[in-house]
Chains A and B, each alone.
Chain A
Amino acid sequence: MVVFTLFILSCNYKLNKSEYIFVPIDTIIFPVKNPIRINSRYNNRTCTNYISFIDVGNMNIFLITNDSNNNRTEHIFCYKNAIRNFKKENFNLFYFFKDTSSVYILLKNPIFPGNIKQSIVQIDSKGKFRTLKIWNSSNEIYYIQPPNKPFNFTDTNIFIATCFHEAKLGTPSLNDYQTNLDSRKKVFSQPPTLLFEINDSICKIIKEYGSYPKTLLDTTIHIYNYFPDYTICNSDAVVFLYRNMDTLYLTKKNKTIKYAFKSKYKHCNPKFDMKKLFNYNYINKYACESSKPMYIKYEPKNNRLYLIYTKYQKFENKDGTINKAINNPFSIIVFDSLFNNIGEFNISNEYSKFNSFPTSKGFALRNTKLSNKNKKATYIVYNIQETKKTL
């Protein structure tokens, strides 16, 4: 009887089992050819969609808003004048918005850390700019990093960022990371996350928190783990992704919580030979023939995390040609707010894994074919759809 009941239950389970598919639902055509640092945010209070990006060619930062009545507004902030007054190499175009009236750009760490502190430039829509000093009570030099993505939109003056404490030695080189444990400890023993507040003329660091995984302090660590990717969530939380670990690290308040995940395309990567650190052929072959989680992106409206996972591809073809690691195929893993894996979806090679961003509707991926055809960056928004599995 028990066996029979279990059998019926398992049949029912199979009949009702949900499956998710990744389907295209929308197209976004940008007004420029190569927008970079694209950020999309949805403001619940004003029911407005925001898309911001940088057009490097014309030195403009765009902020496009779409309200619930589909009224579209375009704000353009030109940073040409601001850049004239600073050394060009100090601009990393790490920008963020507090409201639609002005944009803030973080100046990157100078070449000789310790001499000059980082500062923030505020630019309004008329191109006027002013500089804000970064201040913190401990008077320590921070290197707010990595500068590859914009901050969140926020209704408050409080922002979250990740940082490297410069310590006195500066950021270790790749060789240092591997051979000099003390040097590595100086970086990875410090909290990776900080909160700061922007007032009229000052950017004040309020507190720092979280911790790096302990494995980064082991005698040897994998090269992929040196530079984690991260995504800032809308509360005071940051999710870190290490490229040789199948674990997401959530840093929230003073806690760091681990969430393990599994990809269908995981390949057992060989050990990286550190003696060949500057052998570009070896690096390309290694990157080609290994699988790894690459980027993590958070979408606050639906509370989802999107993880781009690079798949293995064979380095050498039969005709003696080679494949390039930048062309490795990839998949996307979607997680819900509790870090449950909703599904992993294979992505066609006409999309770029380096150009994507989450939106309130789903996940936008740059379609290289359409972008070339339209001569404007064209992104296709994909969303997950539930389907009932039928026997």
Chain B
Amino acid sequence: MNRIFLSMLVIITLISSTSCTNNSDKKTELFSLFLSNQLNANLKDSANYLIITYMGCTGCVHKGVNYINRYPQYITLNYEKVIYSNTLLNRIPEIGVFKRNSVCDTSDRIEYLNLGLSGFSIIKIRKGIISEIINLDIRDTKDDSALKNYILMN
């Protein structure tokens, strides 16, 4: 009985880990294609990307953009690239002020990629694949220290 239970547990664990990896692989492939096709860049083996789209938490976007304009050093130090969409640039032109390692996706494709991005998001790459995507939640951003923790969350 115990053996059956154990073997079932192993099978379930295997299935779930495979589906997670597949999901992550799929997202990595999608993001990597986006980088090479739209921004002419390659995916790094280990890096953090800050993605800012207008879709999702718009309040998070406004707070986040104000913050990075005030403290650009946190971004330059911790992120390979800051990618923002064309829609965002039209809605919040202030984002264009932030020049350091930031790039505008003029095709606006980033707004439509199925990566699970929501407003102000961090994509963490480890060992060449997406290990985590963290979305900023407006409820956690009551003060600047919360935003600082979020931006340095690596």
Give the B-binding residues of A (Cβ under 8 A): 278-281, 284, 315-316, 320-324
Q: Which of B30, B55, B117, B138 has the most CB of A within 10 A?
A: B55
Candidates B113, B117, B139; contact of A278 at CB < 8 Å? B139
Contacts A280-B118, A281-B56, A281-B116 given; does A320 touch B26 at CB 8 Å:
yes
Bound Cα distance A322, B56 (Å):
13
Q: In the complex, how many angstroms separate the beta carbon of A33 from the nearest chain B beta carbon?
A: 15
**Complex Cα gap A279–B139 (Å):** 12
Min CB–CB distance B118 → chain A (angstroms) = 4
CB of A328 to closest CB in B, whole Å: 14
Q: Is B64 an interface residue (CB 8 A)?
A: no
State the CA gap A382–B113 with chains docked (Å): 36
B113's partner among A279, A284, A315, A322 (CB-CB below 8 A) is A322
Residues of A within 8 A of B112 (CB): 321-324
Q: Are B118 and A281 neighbours in the complex by a CB distance under 8 Å? A: yes
Taking a contact as CB atoms under 8 Å apart, the answer to whether B57 and A280 are in contact is yes
A324-B137 contact given A280-B118, A280-B119, CB 8 Å threshold: no
Complex Cα–Cα for A87 and B30 (A): 47
- The answer to whether A280 touches B55 (Cβ under 8 A) is yes
Number of interface residues of B (CB under 8 A): 17
A323–B112 Cα distance when bound, in Å, is 7
Cβ-defined partner of A284 (8 Å) among B26, B30, B56, B109:
B56
B114 within 8 Å of A (CB atoms): yes
CB pair B137–A278 under 8 Å, yes or no, is yes
A316: chain B residues within 8 A (beta carbon): 114
A278-B137, A284-B55 known; A321 vs B114 contact (CB < 8 Å): yes
15 additional A-B residue pairs with CB within 8 Å, beyond A315-B114, A320-B26, A321-B113:
A278-B137, A278-B138, A279-B118, A280-B57, A280-B118, A280-B119, A280-B135, A284-B55, A316-B114, A320-B113, A321-B109, A321-B112, A321-B114, A322-B112, A322-B113
CA distance A290 to B122 in the complex (A): 29
Bound Cα distance from A322 to B135, whole angstroms: 17
Distance from B133 Cβ to chain A, minimum over Cβ atoms (Å): 10
Nearest Cβ distance between residue B109 and chain A, in whole angstroms?
Answer: 7
A324 near B55 with CB under 8 A, answer: yes
A316 to B56, CA, bound (A): 16
Q: How many angstroms between the C-alpha atoms of A315 and B112 in the bound complex?
A: 10
29 A-B pairs (CB sep. < 8 Å): A278-B137, A278-B138, A278-B139, A280-B55, A280-B56, A280-B57, A280-B118, A280-B119, A280-B135, A281-B56, A281-B116, A281-B117, A281-B135, A284-B55, A284-B56, A315-B114, A316-B114, A320-B30, A320-B113, A320-B114, A321-B109, A321-B112, A321-B113, A322-B112, A322-B113, A322-B114, A323-B112, A324-B55, A324-B112
